[in-house]
Homo-oligomer: A and B are copies of this chain.
């Protein structure tokens, strides 16, 4: 699993700060999460191949999270994309994009499929044999979802030394990975756990931005490997967080702790702060394993 942070600042794009956009590499997927203005340029800068992006998840319809989408969709068309593109977004974005395409007298030459989100409870919005994606209802000024990306539990792994010692025919390897006991070449049944190891622990990633402090998300993201939680403000500006429905670094850390997250990544900083280390320090008073998102930074999890 690898997270590419393309932009992690709130509000408006500036010369050196980009609005929200991330790419999550997980089980061969390249999931684009949010798409602020300029995201297509940041994708290029971060050398992410456009044709690998097949699913885009939009948290909410504030501009710093979605104004780059129509341009990306248009660029895909200009690059003669053929693969389907799925967009998971609050109801309404389909109407905007459709109107913009109509007015420019250009429609996509690939299939553009909108999955409009309206539920206020967590729902499964994508699933294949290796990964699933759930919404995380957030508490913001407009209808907003975070997204939980979860690897499914994989197959058991062969302990090759033991498998060879036990003299098991290669024809049984598939069944071994599926957890079955199998016969050796003499016809004796070999217990699965003697020749296999547990599956790799599945990884998960929760994207939670934008949101006020909201404990109701804790059961949904419980035990998540990596939590990206917005921290627009520091505690010293907490009075700004409530009316704008944003969080402080301390609040983000409190959610990480309650959810028993493996790691917390902070982001969506207000551009009023020059020293982002203050966010880390504040969060670490509550939760130890804190990282700071940074435009162009990537995080790898093996």
Binding site for B on A (CB under 8 A): 11-15, 37-38, 40-41, 44-45, 61-63, 67-68, 70-71, 74-75, 78, 90, 92-93, 95-96, 99-100, 103-106, 141-142
Task: Report whether B75 and A12 are in contact in the complex, using a CB–CB cutoff of 8 Å.
Answer: yes
When the two chains form the complex, which single residue of B45, B61, B74, B78 contacts A104, counting CB atoms closer than 8 Å?
B61
User: Nearest-CB distance from A103 to chain B (Å)?
Assistant: 4
Copies of this chain, complex-wide, total 2
User: What is the bound-complex CA distance between A174 and B277, given in angstroms?
Assistant: 63
Task: Give me the 9 closest cross-chain CB pairs, A-B, nearest first.
Answer: A92-B103, A12-B75, A61-B103, A37-B71, A63-B74, A67-B71, A105-B142, A61-B104, A62-B104
The contact sample of 22 A-B pairs, CB cut-off 8 A, is A11-B75, A11-B78, A12-B71, A12-B78, A13-B38, A13-B41, A14-B41, A15-B41, A37-B38, A38-B41, A61-B103, A61-B104, A62-B104, A63-B100, A67-B67, A67-B70, A67-B74, A92-B99, A92-B103, A96-B96, A104-B142, A105-B141
Task: Report whether B74 and A70 are in contact in the complex, using a CB–CB cutoff of 8 Å.
Answer: no
User: Nearest-CB distance from A45 to chain B (Å)?
Assistant: 5
Task: Report whether A12 and B38 are in contact in the complex, using a CB–CB cutoff of 8 Å.
Answer: no
User: Nearest-CB distance from A209 to chain B (Å)?
Assistant: 15
User: What is the bound-complex CA distance between A11 and B77, given in angstroms?
Assistant: 11
User: Nearest-CB distance from A11 to chain B (Å)?
Assistant: 6
User: What is the bound-complex CA distance between A75 and B38, given in angstroms?
Assistant: 14
When the two chains form the complex, which single residue of B13, B44, B74, B93 contacts A71, counting CB atoms closer than 8 Å?
B13
Known: A12-B40, A37-B71, A61-B100. 13 other contacts (CB 8 A): A11-B75, A11-B78, A12-B71, A14-B44, A37-B68, A38-B38, A62-B104, A63-B100, A67-B70, A67-B74, A93-B103, A96-B103, A99-B99
